[in-house]
Chain A
Amino acid sequence: MKRAKKNNLLIIAIILAVFTGIQFAGPNIKNLPVTTELSVPHDVRVILKRACYDCHSNETKLLWFDKIAPASWMVAKDITDARKVLNFSTWGSLAPADQKGKLFEAFNQISLGAMPLKQYSALHSEAKLTAGDISILKTYISSLVSVKTSDTSRINAANKQYNEWIGAKTRFVKVKPAPNGIEYIPDFRNWKAISTSDRFDNGTMRVMVANDIAIKAIKENHINPWPNGATFAKIAWEELIDSTGKVQTGEFKQVEFMIKDDKKYEKTAGWGWARWKGIQLAPYGKTETFTQECINCHKPVKDNDFVFTMPLHLKSK
C-alpha cells in the first residue's frame, strides 16, 4: 500500500518535471520590429488590430494560456504560418496592387467565416467580428476600387500582344511545368465555359472553362465532390475600359488550373494546382510549397470541394 502511494507520487513528480521542462523547449514567438504602420482609417485599424494582429503582425499579444506548452507550440506554429501569408507589420514591402489584393482576400476570408480561426476566436472573444465591423471593412475596401478608362499605353500593349499572337505560326512552344510537376495543358482552349467573372477588385476579366469529365459531372449533378479527373482552367485578361464603361479583354495575364484527384493530390486538398503567368507562360512559384497559397485562398469554400465557381447548370439534351 505504502509502495503504491510512493509510485503515484513519483509519477506525478515526473509529469510535473516534464511539464516544467517543456515550458523551456519548443518554439518561441518573438515580435520582430514593425517596419510599417498601416495607412488605413482609424476605425479600420482598430478592427484589424483587435481581430487580426495577434497572428498577422509583429505586434502579437499573447494571453497567459497561449504561453503554456504544449498549447504554445501550436500557437507558435499558427502565428509563424499566419505571418508568412499576411503580415501587417511589413506591409510597406508589398506593391500597392498586392496590398489591395491582400485586403480583398483578407476581407473575403472574414466574410465567409474562415477567419479569424475558430480555435482562436473561441478563446479570444474580442477577435470576433460583428456585422458592424464587417460593414466598416467592406466600405473601406470598396473605396479602394477605381474604374478608370484605360489609357493608350494599355490599349497599345493589348494590340501588340494580340498582333503577335494572331500572327504566330507556331503556338505550341515548350512550356515549363509548375514547381509541383504539373504540366501545362494547352487543350484548355477547347474546353467549355462554365462561368465568367468581372473582377473589379483587380481590373481583370476571367473565363472559367472545364474539361469533359467536369462538364459531364455538371450535367449529372455530381459536383460536390467533383469526380477525379475533373479539371478547370481559369483564364484572366486585363480589362480594357473605354470612356462609356464598355470593357473588352486586354492583355492575357495568366491561366490557372485545378485538377481533381483525391489520391494523387491527397496532400493538397485533393486538387493539383498550377498557374502560368504572362504570354510567356512562366510557371508560378519557386518551390512546390506555392500550392499552400492556393489552398489558403480556397479554404473558405472547402464545403464546395474548394471550388469558388458556381458553374452554369449545363443540361444534357
Chain B
Amino acid sequence: MKNLIVLSFLATLILTGCSKENLYNESASLADSTKITQVLEGKVITSMVDKKEKTMSTLYGNDIAVEHARNSVDHHYPIGSELSLVTWSQKEDIHWYGANIPGEIKSIEIVKYQAPDSAILEYYKGKNLHLGKRDFETAVKRIEFISGQRAAVLP
C-alpha cells in the first residue's frame, strides 16, 4: 500500500512536470539569471525567418521606436529609440505539425539611438546571453540591418 502511494505520488510528479513543459515554451524563454528581461516586453515591429539557418527572429522596439517604425518609411530613428532583435533556433511545434516555433535563444542584438544619427550595438549570445564583441565593421552592418527592417503591416 505504501509503495502504491509512493508510486502514485511519483506519477503525479512526472505528469505535472510534463504538463508544465507543455504549457510554456521554457526552452525559448530567457534564463532566470539574465538581466535583460525587458527586451521581450517590447512591442513587436516585425518578425523574420531564415529557412537555411533554421532560425527565427522577432524585432522588438520601445515605444519611441515602434511609433517611428509604424509611421515613417525612413529608418532615421529618433533619439531614445531602442530596437532589439531576438534570434532563436527553430523547433517543431509539438501541437501542430506544419509549424516551427522558437527553440533556444541564440542571440539578442540591441540597437540604441543615444545621439543624433548615432547608434550603438549591444550583442548578447547563447542561452546565457553573455555580452559578446562585434568588430566595428560588423557592428555597423548589424545596426544598418536592424534599423532597415520595415514594420509588419498591422491594420
Contact = CB atoms under 8 A, between A and B. Distances in A.
With a 10 A CB-CB cut-off, give which of A147, A162, A301, A310 has the most chain B CB atoms. A310
B98 A199 contact: yes
A130 interface: no
A199 to B, nearest CB: 5
Given A207-B44, A223-B23, A313-B29, A197 B101 contact: yes
Contacts of A19: none
B97 A165 contact: no
Given A313-B25, A315-B32, A198 B44 contact: no
A241 interface: yes
A201 interface: yes
Interface stretch (A41-49, A117-125, A242-250): A242-250
A107 interface: yes
A195 B155 contact: no
B25 A311 contact: yes
A111 B99 CA distance: 14
- Chain A contact residues, majority secondary structure: mixed
Interface stretch (B2-10, B88-96, B112-120, B132-140): B88-96
Nearest to A110: B97
With a 10 A CB-CB cut-off, give which of B47, B50, B58, B102 has the most chain A CB atoms. B47
Task: Kindly list the 9 A-B residue pairs having the minimum CB-CB distance in the complex, ordered from nearest.
Answer: A201-B98, A245-B51, A247-B49, A313-B29, A245-B52, A249-B152, A252-B153, A310-B25, A198-B100
Interface string A221-254: 0011000000000010101010011111101100
B76 to A, nearest CB: 15
Interface string A273-317: 000000101000000000000000000110110001011111101
B107 to A, nearest CB: 16
A315 B155 contact: no
Given A198-B90, A252-B154, A315-B37, A304 B49 contact: no
Interface of B: 19, 22-26, 28-30, 32, 37, 40-44, 46-53, 56, 58, 60, 70-73, 90, 93, 95-102, 149-155
B49 A162 contact: no
B99 A195 contact: no
Contacts of A197: 93, 96, 99-101
Contacts of A235: 152, 154
A312 B25 contact: yes
A314 B71 contact: no
A141 B96 CA distance: 13
B40 A314 contact: yes
A265 interface: no
Contacts of A104: 97-98
Contact of A304 (B23, B28, B52, B150): B23
A200 B99 contact: yes
A180 interface: no
A255 to B, nearest CB: 8
A153 to B, nearest CB: 17
A202 interface: yes
B37 A308 contact: no
A313 B48 contact: no
Interface string A97-137: 00000001001100110000000000000000000000000
B102 A195 contact: yes
Interface string A170-197: 0100000000000000000111110111
A310 B95 contact: yes
B40 to A, nearest CB: 6
